[in-house]
Structures are given as structure tokens and as C-alpha cells.
């Protein structure tokens, strides 16, 4: 199905999500979020890819493919709403320098390239999409992490609130600072959040994440949250 056709198909869902976000915003004390000084550009980062498949579920589902699918849906919806976007990757194939002979070296080169792309994008706002994993099956839910740059915490709290209220109401996870060892988030110089959309190790989360409907819902809520942040919507 072409991008335009499935955008038209999913338009009612997106409209409902946006109306729900506006309703949620009105339930809390109002505080205007300051938009970035430069015209914002949504930089969408589908985590992993290429030689790095990321986490793997018990049934063999790989994280990188889910990340990319959600990211492509997010980009298509963003374009529909007139949002300028940049992708750190658009497929499962990644070009590496000839000097990157090992998987570890390829991962390092890829992360350096992503940081360079983000930091060379004026007005960038980074949204990195990932999936969680854990040795036990019990942990579940969505969690948003933010980097050290101003604006990241505000965006993360908006996204966490919307994702929890609309997609995962029993979720008790909060937006928190990201681990300082995460190279991409540590080195970008723009507002940045990383969204762990669910646990591949949890059967319920995995079942949701394998469906087109849930991936589209994630993309729609993430876009709505981005627009709240960049357009000064009350929260």
C-alpha cells in the first residue's frame, strides 16, 4: 500500500489520538512549553540496524525491524502534518567505512555518523526509538528517557504522559534521565529523548508490538507529543 493511501486510511485514528492528547492537556495545570529558538526539525532515529539487530525476542523478532517500522510510520504522519523530518536510517542496510571490520567497529562508526547527522541539523529535536528487553518476562510497559540538553526532559515528560494515558494506562514508569553511557544521547547537542516502546521479553508487549495497529498508535502519539512540545501546547 502506498504511503498516501495508508495515511488516508489511518487519518481517523490520528485525529482521535490528537483529540485525546488535547483533552489530557486540559486536565492538568497549564504551563507553556517553550519551543526551540530555531525552526524545529524532527530527527527520527530507529535504533540499531545493519550489523546490529538489537534485542531479540524469544520467537526471533528483532528490535531493529520494529524500530524502523515505527519510525517510518512516524515520518509519514509527520509529513502529512507538515513537520520537517530527518531519518538517521531508512532501511535495515547501513553503509560502514572500510576500516570497520568487526561488528563492534561497525556499531561505533554508525553511532558516530548518527551523532554527526543530528549535530549538523539546525533546530534538531531527536526522538530515538527502541525496544526494551529483560531476562525475566514480567517487566512490561513504555518508558521515555531524556538526555542532558535543555528541552529533553520537557519533551520526555509530555511523551511519557501521553503514551501512558493513551496506550498503557497501567504503566507506572516515569520519564527519567538516560544512562550517561548511551553514546548517541550523551553526544548530541539538541533536545533528545529515547523511547523504549515495550519489552520484547514480555509476551503481552511483544504481541502488541508485532501489530500494525499498535505501531501506528505509537507513531501517532509520539507525533502528537512532539507537536505539543514544539508548538507550545499547554501541558
Mean pLDDT of the chain: 89
Please say whether the structural domain 3-230 has been given the CATH code 3.40.630.40: yes
Which three cell numbers mark 193? 529523548
Instruction: Give me the pLDDT at residue 13, please.
Output: 59
Instruction: Give me the pLDDT at residue 34, please.
Output: 56
Query: Span 83-112, mean pLDDT?
Result: 95
* Unique residue bearing C-alpha cell 507537536: 227
Residue-by-residue DSSP string for 79-145: HHTT--EEES-SSS-----TT--SHHHHHHHHHHHHHHHHHTSTTEEEEEEEEE--SSS-----EEE
Instruction: Give me the pLDDT at residue 235, please.
Output: 38
Question: What are the boundaries of each domain within the chain?
Answer: 3-230
Question: What whole-number distance in Å separates Cα of residue 143 and Cα of residue 152?
Answer: 14
The alpha carbon of 145 is separated from its chain's Cα centroid by a whole number of angstroms, namely 10
Kindly list the distances between the CA atom of residue 88 and the CA atoms of 57, 148, 175, in Å, as whole numbers in the listed order.
24, 20, 23
Which three cell numbers mark 18? 490528537
Q: pLDDT, tens digit, for every residue of 24-54?
A: 555 555 454 555 556 899 999 999 999 999 9
**Higher confidence at residue 1 or residue 235?**
1
Instruction: Give this prediction's pTM.
Output: 0.86
Query: Span 98-102, mean pLDDT?
Result: 93
**Higher confidence at residue 39 or residue 153?**
153
Strand, coil or helix: 147: coil
Whether pLDDT at 234 is above 50: no
Whether pLDDT at 125 is above 50: yes
Can you name the residues that pair with 41 across neighbouring β-strands? 124
Are 141 and 168 within 8 A, CB to CB?
yes
Query: Span 195-224, mean pLDDT?
Result: 97
Residue-by-residue DSSP string for 152-215: HHHHHHHHHHHHHHHH-TT-----EEPPTT-HHHHH--S-EEEEEEEETTSHHHHHHHTSHHHH
Whether pLDDT at 193 is above 50: yes
Kindly list the distances between the CA atom of residue 192 and the CA atoms of 96, 148, 182, in Å, as whole numbers in the listed order.
24, 8, 12
Instruction: Give me the pLDDT at residue 142, please.
Output: 98
Share of the chain above pLDDT 90, in %: 81
Whether pLDDT at 174 is above 60: yes
Whether pLDDT at 16 is above 90: no
**Higher confidence at residue 62 or residue 35?**
62
Instruction: Give me the pLDDT at residue 102, please.
Output: 95
Instruction: Give me the pLDDT at residue 39, please.
Output: 83
Q: pLDDT, tens digit, for every residue of 63-73?
A: 999 999 999 99
Amino acid at each position: 500500500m502506498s504511503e498516501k493511501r495508508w495515511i488516508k486510511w489511518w487519518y481517523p485514528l490520528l485525529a482521535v489520538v490528537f483529540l485525546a492528547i488535547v483533552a489530557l492537556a486540559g486536565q492538568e495545570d497549564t504551563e507553556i512549553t517553550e519551543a526551540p529558538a530555531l525552526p524545529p526539525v524532527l530527527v527520527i532515529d530507529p535504533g540499531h540496524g545493519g550489523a546490529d539487530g538489537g534485542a531479540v525476542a524469544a520467537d526471533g523478532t528483532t528490535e531493529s525491524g520494529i524500530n524502523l517500522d515505527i519510525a517510518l510510520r512516524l515520518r509519514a504522519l509527520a509529513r502529512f502534518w507538515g513537520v520537517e523530518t530527518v531519518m538517521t536510517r531508512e532501511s535495515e542496510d547501513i553503509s560502514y567505512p572500510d576500516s570497520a571490520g568487526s561488528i563492534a567497529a561497525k556499531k561505533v562508526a554508525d553511532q558516530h555518523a548518527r551523532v554527526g547527522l543530528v549535530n549538523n541539523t539546525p533546530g534538531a529535536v531527536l526522538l530515538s526509538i527502541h525496544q526494551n528487553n529483560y531476562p525475566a518476562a514480567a517487566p512490561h510497559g513504555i518508558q521515555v528517557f531524556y538526555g542532558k540538553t535543555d528541552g529533553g526532559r520537557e519533551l520526555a515528560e509530555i511523551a511519557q504522559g501521553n503514551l501512558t494515558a493513551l496506550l498503557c494506562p497501567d504503566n507506572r514508569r516515569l520519564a527519567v534521565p538516560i544512562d550517561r553511557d548511551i553514546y548517541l544521547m550523551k553526544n548530541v547537542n539538541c533536545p533528545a529523548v529515547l523511547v523504549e516502546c515495550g519489552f520484547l521479553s514480555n509476551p503481552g508487549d511483544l504481541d502488541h508490538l508485532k501489530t500494525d495497529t499498535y505501531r501506528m498508535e505509537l507513531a501517532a502519539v509520539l507525533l502528537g507529543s512532539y507537536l505539543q512540545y514544539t508548538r507550545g501546547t499547554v501541558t
